[in-house]
Amino acid sequence: MTSDITLATYLFNRIKQLGVEHILGVPGDFNLMLLDYIYEVPPLKWVGFCNELNAAYAADGYGRFKQTPGVLITTYGVGELSALNGISGARAESVPLLHIVGTTGRAIQEEHLLIHHVPPGDGLEEPDHTLYMQTSKPLACAHEFLYDPKKVLDQIDHVITQVAKQSKPGYLYIPVDMVHKKVPSDRLNTPLDLKVVNSGQQDLEDKVVQQVLDAIYQSRDPVIIADTLAERHHAVELVKELVEKTKFLSFNTSMGKGIVDENHPSYVGVYNGKASGKGIAETVEGSDLRIHIGPLFSDSNTGGFTHETKPETSIQLHPLYCSVKGHQYDHLHFYPVLEKIVKQLDVSKIPQNATPKPPRAPIEQEENAGSADGITQTYFTEFMNRFMRPNDSLLVESGTFQFACQDIYMKENSSFVTQIFYSSIGFTFPALVGSCVARREQNHPGRCILVEGDGSAQMTIQELGTMIRYKLNPTIFLLNNDGYSIERAIWGPQQGYNDICPNWKWTQLCESLGGTPGKDCASFKVSTKKQLDDLLISKEFESHSDKLRLVEVVLDAFDYPWRLRAQVQRMGKFNRDKFEAYAKNAGEV
């Protein structure tokens, strides 16, 4: 016999079936009754945040690390709109995220009552309680309002399935009176179908697979480029298997850093167009076949659009299309295609690389304006290469060090998170919370390490208290370069708008936000190269490895990584060329 359960119980059991163990968010009067049901579906647990934007960033970080949807709950209007920037970032960088919004009851909506959080209508029009849904809809891969009890199970399953398959945000809106509605429980016995398939396109799949294999067999010196969408769509192991089978020279992109094992004999470095390290762009662009898996052609992922993609010598495997030497097949997801390529590849037919692997080039020096013993971006990068260990997770904030961290070689089984495309400063501090929570669920070995700028940290620093509250133990390197140095590098290095509130007492923040030094947190400050080096051998520093550690690293305000300087110059030229072409076409020149 079929028993009945509440809609909320059904929803949280579906979420549990994804492997999710923590629900993130902020309580509000229209989601409180929904939150009660979290505690009735073990092992689900609640993680509360200081505001909804930070909770959205954290859900993004959870989704990136766990490769399952991060789940966010807010109240409607004030809560969901605060989270919207975080949702937009997840959409831009293809991160699975389920946003559940508690809304006013159906009767109140039908009567168009002027309830708090809803804006009045224009003129004599009645207020529209669904107004905010229209705001978020363009950012969602699936979007459902749970209004009709007869449809809600299909709606829930549809959104969760699409979020998981498309690796993008999705929305469920739940009126407060629907939380307790009874629904049949037996639907939970039917697993969600989360497998990506190209329905009805078996012949086309096989055709593309054969074209790719033929291109590989006929090539002289092919290369593999691993990009971010390969990771987002669960293809990392397939990429690694392809690298291992072929032994082709292999590269990660800036956003795909860590996909190819950077200690593998075939790994060369990060390909980022003309902003690549010495010898990397020449090797990639001199190849007669580039196999680019999961590409995302944004400015920051292509060295300011200086990457080279000749269609006649390129294979691109993307979630929305597969392209083989200029022939593009739309609406063909790459995962089943790559799966067949790896399985069917005849290693006896693959070419031996004609191009030798370029040697690992030294890190280029910065144009530092500081003292000789001061810590530079280059020196801190070299320190991180010594500090990193196998199984570590490295998170890097949107800022100057995003451009330096490409010179860090990730150790075995390590992972990397940054938001270099959407680049919402302040993102990574809350994302660290989501990543640490996900790691805890998996009993993941290694450390969680954040490199954060002072300007970015001032936006979301309150989640330091959340880390202490939930007994998380990351290591945080707070780069204090006295303001928005990445903006200084772009424009107005001496302008006041690139300054921030000076002289924050960073090493006192853990205690101010609820920590007890020596018990659950420890803070340090380094201003010279020697002080930074001494951390590696410091018994005091290592003795606090089971606690939250915050290290303030003092840098010069005008010390920029070489890649940032190079990209600023190239993007400046790119924009000037575009402006001039537009002005000429518009008759303004």
Give the C-alpha distances (Å, rounded to integers) separating 31 from 81, 200, 451, 452.
15, 41, 34, 33
Rg (CA), the chain: 25
The Cα 428–Cα 451 span in angstroms is 9
The verdict on whether residue 370 carries a ligand-binding annotation is no
Strands 475-480 and 548-554: parallel
The Cα 79–Cα 86 span in angstroms is 12
| Share of the chain residues as helix, strand and coil, in percent rounded to the nearest 5 | 40, 20, 40
The Cα 154–Cα 18 span in angstroms is 17
Q: Give the residue among 357, 215, 226 at the shortest CA–CA distance from 282.
A: 357
Q: Which two tokens stand for residue 555?
A: 């840098």
Please, what's the b/e burial string for 353-378 (b: 16 or more CB within 10 A of its CB; e: otherwise)? bebeeeeeeebeebebebeeebbbbb
The verdict on whether residue 54 carries a ligand-binding annotation is no
The verdict on whether residue 481 carries a ligand-binding annotation is yes
* 477 close to 451: Cβ distance less than 8 angstroms: yes
Burial class (CB in 10 A: 0-12, 13-18, 19+), 397: buried
- H-state helical runs in 442-561: 454-460, 463-469, 485-490, 509-512, 529-537, 539-543
* 280 close to 407: Cβ distance less than 8 angstroms: no
Q: What is the DSSP string of 329-386?
A: EET--HHHHHHHHHHH--GGGSPPPSSPPPPPPPPPPP---S-TTBB-HHHHHHHHHH
Strands 70-75 and 97-103: parallel
Q: What angle do CA 175, 158, 104 make, to 5 degrees?
A: 10
The maximal CA–CA distance of the chain, rounded, in angstroms, is 78
Q: What angle do CA 570, 571, 575 make, to 5 degrees?
A: 120
Q: Is the peptide bond before 390 cis (omega within 30 degrees of 0)?
A: no
- The count of residues in the chain is 589
Q: What angle do CA 205, 211, 213 make, to 5 degrees?
A: 100
Could you list the residues known to form a binding site, using ranges: 454, 481, 483
Could you list the residues known to form a binding site for Mg(2+), using ranges: 454, 481, 483
